[in-house]
């Protein structure tokens, strides 16, 4: 008995040593690969991990003269300041309201679009719709912002349409409530086609036998769409929904910054635009860093949770890892 | 009878559906057409119309005569080429390393990069970093911070992982180095995903403007999108006045802006068929890994 135990122990030790040994051997045989990974590794350290260390400026009284390490610690002072002022609550709730509105309206539309597009039988018409609807995705918000400022302006075509219909002109760009509508609408306009791709791909992989069976049962196109197509892509709809809820706090800086103006700050000013103005226009580096850090921690929790749930729901792994 | 009734329903549905899709196309295309018409007009507004009012080419001449536009275009092209090539080299090498399933430290490296997708230092620390590295007002401030997009990296790694090991074996027996295996066997086979990443990176660089606002001070280093932003959104007087007032006549700002917008959209439109094909492919590869 005791002998076998001792033998096992020895065997284990030998195995362990061999394992260590072979690991070393592998490291050496792979040395070229480590060398190839080095530039990227250095990139991640410098451009991702140094800024992560850099969040300490939120707890310091940062100035460029003293640098990050030389500036004085002030603890949670900037966070206290943040929670004591109104501005923070305003940008925080603006971010959430816009995020929720964009999900409520912006999420279902690509799904519906994909479902309807799938029912278009004429191949060239279908291709034409796809080509057109993907285009805005490739254009920057500078181009689109310039365009929409024109389209939505008081003299622009949209107001000309209102006038033509005998309605009153609406100043979208200076009315805080209307501006929200503008942001949600232009967001949908830009992303609808592109966001439908993933659903179209899911639809393409549905077993056609199901449709054949439904046709024999006498189901019309609408019934087939609602009872076969929709349930078949429901898993991916749920996963995409969870992932987009996880991104709710990540406001669209490019969109808002290129469209907004001080007249609509009360509804359009979000965390990222506020951080930019506070930090790089007013030079309140530490305060801006504190606001940003607070946001990034919430984003971390949200994204991590949503990805974990999404990965649990589906083993095909639509989440980021 | 019943069958005919159903057929009728289907036809009604198809007609309505076709109309909805037409509406989508119109809503997408209309703003562009309106701005194009405005860009050929001599007025501040053309209302709902899609035809130019007082047709003129002067807006485009003013845009083309603006030196900043060309400087911006040139810098954008440089940025796209330098940025994309650097990204590609560094990313291919890293993705290949990470694709080796038995590489010691692979789990650590993967976590090391994935963490950066979840947590970001934020704007201020990044700005301080660029300043401390003395990259302010250089092109490197535009290229280096976006050297690797972690999502694209993971997509590329997954693609390389899906390749059979047998591809490399004969080369290994011949004593080829990993470096050679990567660039003579793996990279050519991974061309679909490499093409996708090239386009992702190139379009990102083409459209980027915020980093120029942050890090670039000199006019001769600005990129097209930023010059455009100064013209159409900030309406910056130094760039606008030059174009509006010239010896002969005053041209409305709106139509010049429209011409500038269309001018900067054209390059994307030219490569669009190509972009669409590979971008869509990339989305499939990226989202459906397994």
Domain's final residue, options B34, B55, B76: B55
- Residue A81 touches partner B, C-beta closer than 8 Å: no
Residue B14 pLDDT: 92
Nearest beta carbon to residue A300 from set B31, B44, B119: B119
Let me know: does A295 contact A304? Beta carbons within 8 Å: no
Same domain, B18 and B110: no
Query: Domain of B267: which CATH number?
Result: 1.10.3720.10
In chain A, what residues touch B13 (CB-CB under 8 Å)? 119, 220-222
Q: Are residues B105 and B159 in the same domain?
A: yes
Q: Residue A6: what pLDDT?
A: 64
Q: Do B82 and B39 fall within a single domain? A: no
Chain A residues with CB-CB distance to B10 below 8 A? 220-221
Tell me the shortest Cα–Cα distance from A10 to chain B, in angstroms.
25
* Residue B135, min C-alpha distance to chain A (Å): 12
Same domain as B152, residue B252:
yes
Name the residue among A260, A276, A279 with its Cα closest to residue A268.
A260
Q: Do B233 and A300 touch (CB under 8 A)?
A: no
Contact B21 A64 (CB under 8 A): no
Query: Does A173 touch chain B if contact means CB atoms closer than 8 Å?
Result: no
Same domain, B20 and B68: no
B46 with B119, same domain: the answer is: no
Full-model pTM:
0.90
CB A273, CB A288: distance < 8 Å: no
Last residue of a domain, one of B39, B55, B71: B55
Burial class (CB in 10 A: 0-12, 13-18, 19+), B134: exposed
Q: pLDDT by residue for chain B (290 residues), tens digit each?
A: 445 556 788 899 999 999 999 999 999 999 999 999 999 998 888 888 899 988 999 999 999 999 999 999 999 999 999 999 999 999 999 999 999 999 999 999 999 999 999 999 999 999 999 999 999 999 999 999 999 999 999 999 999 998 988 888 888 888 889 999 999 999 999 998 999 899 999 999 999 999 999 999 999 999 999 999 999 888 766 666 666 665 556 778 889 999 999 999 999 999 998 888 887 777 666 554 43
CA distance B67 to B47: 31
pLDDT averaged per 10 residues, chain A (length 321): 61 65 85 96 97 95 89 93 93 96 96 96 94 95 95 92 91 93 97 93 90 88 92 92 92 95 95 96 95 96 91 62 41
pLDDT score for B238: 63
Q: What is the pLDDT at residue B237?
A: 63
Looking at CA atoms only, how far is residue B141 from chain A in angstroms?
11
Do residues B109 and B36 share a domain? no
Residues B153 and B233 in one domain: yes
Nearest to A285 by CA among B208, B129, B119, B216: B129
Fold of A77-313: MetI-like fold (1.10.3720)
Strand, helix or coil for residue A71: coil
| A197, B281 contact by CB (below 8 A) | no
State whether residue B161 sits within 8 Å of chain A by CB. no
- For residues B68 and B51, membership in a common domain is answered with no
The verdict on B250 and B181 lying in the same domain is: yes
Q: Which structure tokens are listed for A140?
A: 């920057």
- Cα–Cα distance, A264 to A255 (Å, whole number): 14
Asked if A142 lies within 8 A of B131 by C-beta distance, the reply is no
The answer for B 57-86 residues in CB contact with A (under 8 A) is none
| Residue B49 lies in domain | 2-55
Predicted pLDDT at A22: 80
Per the structure, the count of domains in chain B is 2
Report the gap between the CA of A1 and the closest CA in chain B (Å).
37
Name chain A contacts of B287, Cβ cutoff 8 Å: 198, 201, 318
Q: Please name the member of A50, A222, A318 whose beta carbon is closest to the beta carbon of B13.
A: A222
Whether chain A has a CB inside 8 Å of the CB on B51: the answer is no
């Amino acid at each position: 008995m005791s002998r076998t135990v001792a033998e096992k122990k020895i065997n284990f030790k030998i195995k362990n040593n061999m394992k260590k040994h072979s690991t070393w051997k592998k490291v050496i045989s792979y040395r070229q690969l480590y060398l190839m990974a080095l530039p990227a590794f250095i990139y991640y350290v410098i451009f991702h991990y140094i800024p992560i260390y850099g969040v300490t400026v939120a707890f310091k009284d940062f100035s460029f003269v003293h640098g990050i390490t030389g500036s004085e610690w002030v603890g949670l002072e900037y966070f206290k300041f943040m929670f004591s002022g109104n501005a923070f609550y305003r940008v925080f709730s603006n971010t959430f309201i816009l995020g929720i509105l964009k999900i409520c309206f912006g999420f279902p539309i690509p799904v519906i679009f994909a479902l309807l597009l799938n029912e278009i039988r004429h191949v060239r018409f279908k291709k034409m719709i796809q080509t057109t609807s993907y285009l805005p995705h490739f254009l920057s918000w500078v181009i689109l912002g310039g365009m929409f400022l024109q389209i939505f302006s008081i003299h622009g075509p949209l107001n000309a349409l209102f006038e033509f219909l005998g309605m009153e002109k609406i100043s979208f760009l200076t009315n805080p409530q209307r501006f929200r509508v503008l942001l949600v609408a232009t967001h949908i306009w830009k992303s609808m086609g592109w966001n439908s791709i993933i659903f179209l791909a899911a639809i393409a992989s549905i077993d056609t036998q199901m449709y054949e069976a439904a046709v024999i049962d006498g189901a019309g196109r609408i019934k087939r769409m609602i009872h076969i197509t929709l349930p078949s892509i429901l898993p991916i709809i749920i996963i995409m929904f969870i992932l987009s809820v996880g991104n709710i706090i990540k406001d669209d800086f490019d969109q808002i910054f290129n469209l907004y103006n001080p007249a609509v700050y009360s509804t359009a000013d979000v965390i990222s635009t506020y951080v930019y103005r506070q930090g790089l226009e007013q030079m309140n580096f530490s305060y801006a860093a504190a606001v940003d850090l607070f946001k990034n921690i919430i984003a971390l929790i949200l994204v991590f949770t949503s990805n974990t749930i999404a990965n649990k729901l589906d083993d095909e792994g639509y989440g980021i890892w | 009878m019943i069958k005919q009734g159903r057929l009728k329903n289907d036809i009604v549905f198809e007609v309505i559906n076709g109309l909805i899709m037409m509406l989508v196309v119109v809503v997408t295309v209309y703003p562009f057409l309106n701005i194009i018409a405005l860009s050929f007009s001599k007025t501040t507004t053309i209302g709902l119309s899609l035809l130019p009012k007082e047709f003129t080419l002067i807006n485009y001449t003013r845009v083309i005569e603006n030196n900043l536009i060309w400087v911006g275009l040139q810098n954008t092209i440089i940025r796209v080429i330098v940025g994309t090539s650097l990204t590609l080299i560094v990313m291919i090498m890293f993705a290949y390393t990470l694709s080796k399933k038995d590489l010691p430290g692979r789990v650590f490296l993967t976590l090391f990069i994935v963490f950066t997708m979840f947590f970001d230092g934020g704007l201020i620390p990044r700005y301080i970093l660029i300043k401390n590295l003395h990259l302010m007002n250089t092109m490197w401030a535009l290229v280096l911070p976006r050297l690797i997009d972690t999502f694209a990296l993971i997509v590329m790694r997954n693609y390389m992982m899906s390749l059979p090991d047998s591809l490399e074996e004969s080369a290994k027996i011949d004593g080829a180095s990993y470096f050679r295996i990567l660039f003579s066997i793996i990279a050519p086979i991974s061309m679909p995903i490499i093409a996708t990443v090239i386009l992702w990176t190139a379009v990102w660089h083409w459209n980027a403007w915020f980093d120029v606002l942050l890090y670039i001070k000199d006019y001769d280093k600005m990129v097209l999108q930023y010059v455009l932003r100064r013209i159409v959104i900030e309406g910056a007087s130094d760039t606008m006045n030059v174009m509006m007032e010239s010896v002969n006549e005053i041209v409305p700002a709106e139509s010049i802006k429209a011409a500038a917008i269309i001018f900067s959209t054209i390059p994307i439109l030219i490569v669009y068929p190509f972009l669409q094909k590979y971008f869509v492919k990339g989305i499939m590869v990226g989202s459906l890994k397994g």
